[in-house]
Amino acid sequence: MDDAAKTLVASPEGVLAILVAVCAFWFYIEQKTQWKLFQFLPPLIFIYMTPVVLNNTGVIPGDSPVYGVLRHFALPGLICLLLLSVDVGAAVRIMGKGVLVMLMGTLGIMVGGTVSYFIVHRWLEPDAWTGFGALAGSWIGGTGNMAAVAEGIGTSPEQLGLAVLADNAVYVVWLPILLASKNFAERFNRWARVDESRLAEMEAAADLEVKAEHPPKMRDYLYLGVLACGVTWIAAAVAPLLPVVEPILSTSVWKILIVTTLGIGLSLTKARGIPGSHELAMAIVYVFVAGMGARASLAGLDQAPAFLLGAFIWIFIHGAFCLFGAYIFKVDIHTVAIASAANVGGAASAPVVAAAHREKLVPVSILMALIGYAVGNYAATMTAALCHWVGGGG
């Protein structure tokens, strides 16, 4: 008797309905209750863990055709949609050298991941480098990048579970640090030799970039569907033609990188103006993450202490790189906090930090996070390769 036959809900239609319902349920609870819990533990961790429990208690199967559809069709499509709204030019016009600080933070994540994995890998499973690669995807870009990189490099559901756990555990500590850093603005800005006119110039530039937003119409979803399906088709056709260098540059990784490149290319065209792409992509991301949780078992939790230790070493190396970037580029604490949040927290957390520091910078904080989406798949794949190398993988 196969796995699906032993479960309460075995049909693909039922499994998909449950995955979507899990996502909707946690966002409804967040919206309806306004619990402070969700400020520190975003719905993502519950959306991942609920299907883990449902799978391990026999409600849904660990193997279903739905999961294959999500991997092969939904994932590349959502990556394309996430990248459509990237606007590097606007971010640079407003934040100036702040974008460089963000990229310094990205470099810190790449270096920090490699160093911390070297320190803790002896206590982890041999494939833990794939979990670190997935976590790098989240911390450089966001949840979509985590899902993309995890699928590309073959992260096991157990390692992904550790990455999700570490992501949220670090978030609980790192977010309050970023929020509280506002209290040290004057002393920090003196230390970093910040020009007194910098903040006024940023806010003036932000005012100039304000654009009216229009709700998406039916035809916009069709346009987005054509782009997502077209990019997926091209990537699926080209990826098998490219050289495979195991275990990093597999056909799956090439497919993700091709989709990323085409998505960035489309963001430079009028396609960036199609409304609704980010919201639609994020909805698919959460269903995909729920699907990954449904394939996971509760095994591997014994590695959690070492994985978490590595994650905390990692995040403080990232912080050191951000501080170094602030000093060499003479950038204020508000920009540094937003830059770090744009990396580590993505488009969900960057506006929270921006609102606490300088409310006028909330829109540009999202633009900064979108830059993370653009570089996340490339940089996280490289981070995974470095972790594999320092762990003795050759």
d(CA 70, CA 89) in angstroms, rounded, equals: 32
pLDDT for 4: 53
pLDDT for 23: 95
| Cross-strand pairs, 245 | 249
**Domain containing 320: what range?**
4-393
Tokens in use for 78? Answer: 């959502």
Cα→Cα distances 90→51, 208, 209, 281, Å:
39, 10, 7, 21
Residue 249: phi, psi to the nearest 5? -90, 75
pLDDT for 19: 96
Segment-wise mean pLDDT, segments of 10 residues, the chain, 394 residues: 68 95 95 82 85 90 90 90 86 84 95 96 94 95 89 90 89 88 90 84 74 83 96 95 86 93 92 90 90 78 90 96 94 92 84 86 85 91 95 73
| Cross-strand pairs, 249 | 245
Whole-prediction pTM: 0.87
Q: Is the dihedral of CA 217, 222, 227, 228 positive or negative?
A: positive
- Domains contained in the chain, number: 1
pLDDT for 1: 41
Residue 314: phi, psi to the nearest 5? -60, -50
Cα→Cα distances 220→36, 175, 229, 269, Å:
35, 35, 14, 15
pLDDT for 338: 92
pLDDT for 87: 84
Length of the chain: 394
pLDDT for 37: 80
